[in-house]
């Protein structure tokens, strides 16, 4: 096993009968595993190390504690409360650490998303990038960028039409709807929903089954499927990211963040 100590915001452990399943957990439970600038870089870069680790045959992505990942941590940027702050913007820059979607789409080894709690915003995208997704029945999932007055720029516009079709994608992205794990499974957004106390066992069983497959056949099957996604990513990711950056400059976005902090409905004015 490689040395993963340079990723302190992530916990990496071996599991499975042969120790070839690596469980990667976002390890910021005090912030509901929200992503700050340092952990953002680590979440982007660890994938290439995992892919090159000869001891790893399958990966489970999850979060420590009660959350999977609640998105970007607005408060972590030196006390900056707004998602328009300079540290927040640096987390969004492309190319660089914000190319999480690109890096995960390049991973050859299978990834199981074990969604143990809230998976919101960027956390939702991380969960949906899993090859097989397993949620606890009471987990909550959603790409809620629209509720902060911004365009979904992390990958939802790429992923949801492919996972659900255009009508369902519009429903979730334009209304900013939040689903439970059970609702997401019934909709086909995640593969499985199970009781919380069965989640780890269930996800580990799937990852172990994947790890037992012929590595070349598995990685080339995944690579062929991901070529479709990567080509579509070239068309849509940079555009949606640009729209997100422009939306962050609006008064409506500032109102969305303020309303979120004050736990009230936002009042948008179209500026």
- pLDDT per position in the chain (271 positions), as tens? 889 999 999 999 999 999 999 999 999 999 999 999 889 999 999 999 999 999 999 999 999 999 999 998 877 643 444 444 544 444 444 443 347 898 999 999 999 999 999 999 999 999 999 999 999 999 999 999 999 999 998 899 999 999 999 999 999 999 999 999 999 999 999 999 999 999 999 999 999 999 999 999 999 999 999 999 988 888 888 899 899 999 999 999 999 999 988 999 999 999 9
CATH number for the domain that contains residue 161: 3.90.226.10
Range(s) of the domain holding residue 102: 10-262
The pTM for the full model equals 0.90
Look-up of token digits 């790429």: 158
What DSSP designation does 44 have? Answer: H
- Residue 41 inside a domain? The answer is yes
- Residue 61 inside a domain? The answer is yes
- Residue 267 inside a domain? The answer is no
- Residue 189 inside a domain? The answer is yes
If one counts the domains in the chain, the total is: 1
Look-up of token digits 């976005």: 253
- Residue 124 inside a domain? The answer is yes
- Residue 268 inside a domain? The answer is no
Write the burial class of residue 86 (CB in 10 Å: 0-12 exposed, 13-18 middle, 19+ buried).
exposed
Write the burial class of residue 134 (CB in 10 Å: 0-12 exposed, 13-18 middle, 19+ buried).
buried
- Residue 56 inside a domain? The answer is yes
- Cβ atoms of 132 and 223 within 8 Å: the answer is no
| Beta bridge pairs of residue 180 | 140
As given in the structure block, the two tokens for residue 83 are 């998602």
What DSSP designation does 142 have? Answer: E
């Amino acid at each position: 096993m490689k040395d993963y100590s340079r990723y302190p915001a992530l916990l990496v452990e071996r599991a499975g009968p042969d120790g070839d399943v690596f469980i990667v957990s976002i390890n910021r439970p005090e912030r509901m595993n929200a992503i700050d600038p340092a952990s953002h870089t680590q979440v982007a870069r660890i994938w290439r190390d995992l892919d090159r680790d000869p001891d790893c045959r399958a990966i489970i992505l999850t979060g420590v504690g009660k959350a999977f990942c609640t998105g970007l941590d607005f408060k972590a940027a030196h006390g900056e409360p707004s998602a328009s702050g300079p540290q927040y913007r640096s987390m969004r820059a492309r190319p660089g650490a914000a190319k999480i979607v690109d890096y995960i789409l390049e991973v050859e080894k299978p990834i199981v998303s074990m969604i143990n709690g809230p998976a919101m915003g960027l956390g939702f995208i991380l969960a949906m990038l899993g090859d097989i997704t397993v949620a606890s029945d009471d987990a909550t999932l959603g790409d809620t960028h629209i509720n902060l007055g911004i365009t979904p720029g992390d990958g939802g516009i790429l992923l949801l039409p492919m996972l659900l079709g255009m009508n369902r994608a519009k429903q979730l992205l334009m209304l900013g709807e939040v689903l439970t794990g059970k609702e997401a499974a019934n909709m086909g957004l995640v593969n499985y929903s199970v009781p919380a106390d069965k989640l780890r066992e269930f996800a580990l069983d799937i990852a172990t089954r994947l790890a037992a497959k012929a590595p070349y056949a598995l990685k080339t099957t995944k690579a062929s499927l991901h070529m479709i996604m990567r080509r579509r990513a070239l068309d849509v990711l940079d555009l949606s990211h640009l729209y997100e950056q422009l939306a962050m400059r609006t008064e409506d976005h500032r109102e969305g963040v303020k309303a979120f902090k004050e736990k009230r409905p936002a009042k948008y004015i179209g500026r």
